[in-house]
Structure 1
């Protein structure tokens, strides 16, 4: 059993894939947190696709100028130029026309991607790029130069994020305030876009277009389900990225499948598990909260029923005038836990807190009855309509009705309208 985990670690290709993938996953996870919070996921996809034009241009230039093939620094520089050009064109189109930014992203990245494909096909005698390798990647065939490039780029990007963390944080959550205190919000946007471009550029040669987008978005989205603080989200996102790489590589070896696909599959499954079990935003706990949820209207109906009874009310009385069916037990239990009711033998009485709330609802009900009578509502319908309206924003509505009606003391049925409790 242990051989299943230990044997792959003895292979050089697995070690390189593990190191390179983990570096990319950590940096992509940290940057991806800002990408997810700023809703820039589509931009990451656009940059990764548009890079093929930069790769082709860098390859062609190094081949014709220096006679070098597959020169990593040259293709890296070309990719970065393509990414920056894509961002500049997207910004230009969205600013000078009525076309929205998401539409401009779709137009520009497909156009530049197409330019790269055409360039590769036209100069196929000079450019020897496997487009399938570019799209799908080859995590199991990581070269030493790829490791060095990813390490340097990762260190540079993380340094920028650490140095300007507070600036990015403020510009992400409240850009208006950031601008008002003098932060260069536009410059920070371009700096973040440059960081995303560098991560994408350094990762595509190892993991391909599809996987780099996945590592940029999915681990960050997984961490987003578990925490509400940016620093914790970044740390968790990096952790989920690394576990995706480790789990995916083992899955790849055990199933003899494509490395990039296995990593992305493991990453997605990881997200789905967290989506289901996350304690605050997970589907299971959300279902549990909804299951235990008690409607406010039912609570207020019980309170007024007990108040009108003028003594502890039995379950039968509450069921007759307030809540019917199986929900009554759940409502009474929750109200007792919230300190609105207290149980006396088999009956329920109001606590001081419950009395104040019941008093407020009853006052709203009788003010509504008075108002409905004043506008000519048939007497037979006054009570039922007021029963529905009494739950609406009681404090402000009651104050408005009381002023409009001249602070009446009794309702249309001769019953006293309770005074407002200070």
Structure 2
């Protein structure tokens, strides 16, 4: 590598400079404080773990996104985390082993082998919250509410749309109708691309009754406002009890979210299967017109704890704080610094008094800059300390 491009960073990886770094750190503190105010305890999982622990039960997508390295001490394969959620599930299952409700939150960097989408970073600053030990609408409502409150707290004033779905509807239809495994895999892939014409063609070729084909073909067409839910109940109501229960659950959850956040637009998509390999119930994502991808997402994943030997109901969400910072309308606070004089020009008494004065000011949250010898005066100092009447006094910088 030539000297010219030694400083280049990998594609999708960037450094954060002042003042944006200060804004992100300020928002991180705001978010963590918010989570703790809701009763969520902060955890700090390790950056790297053995791969058989890090990826167990998570599916192929996370495996592909994870950087692998060899542990020089043991020869075992290790992974640099690409998602903190499985680590927190392991912590709940083994490190804490709480039998009741357990609320955990986190704020750490993750690393991806490739960007999740064209707008994404390969090194997101992932923040999120997970709730373990409760299976029901109350916990899903709490987590969704906290996700929306996260967006509000970081200063996102753009309109927010909440995309709601439930993987139990798809699973219930496939099981009740009896779709063959190969057909189901192809149908799943087509649903991800929303290719309705191709979906219709695939369903028409399946070995199913005409009634089953008509029912299944409605799934990718049921999206939009909450009015699609009564229609879904009418179409799928007699398919199975599992499907009917999932639709009712989604309707009740949507009504509860709308009551709390009337300013949020609800969008229902019954063919939304994000995280299908590990999600077991409701799935959700927050979107805004100012960004072309979801800015936060989550869902229920009751089965993931079973791979750690302790199955527990679980629901949670996560977001990239770097993305939230880009969308935030919270102004970046520029420090109004106080300038200290050059100590070499002071008497011993003045130096000692200055040391005590600047310590007090910093403890009060002030930014105090020491003027170094043979260096220009910093530009961001609106005030300075001067020796007047045998005491250090704050005055405006001329």
Name which one, 1 or 2, has greater alpha-carbon Rg: 1
Which structure features the higher share of helix residues?
A: 1
> Is the structural similarity TM-score above 0.5?
no
TM-score, length-normalised on structure 1?
A: 0.24
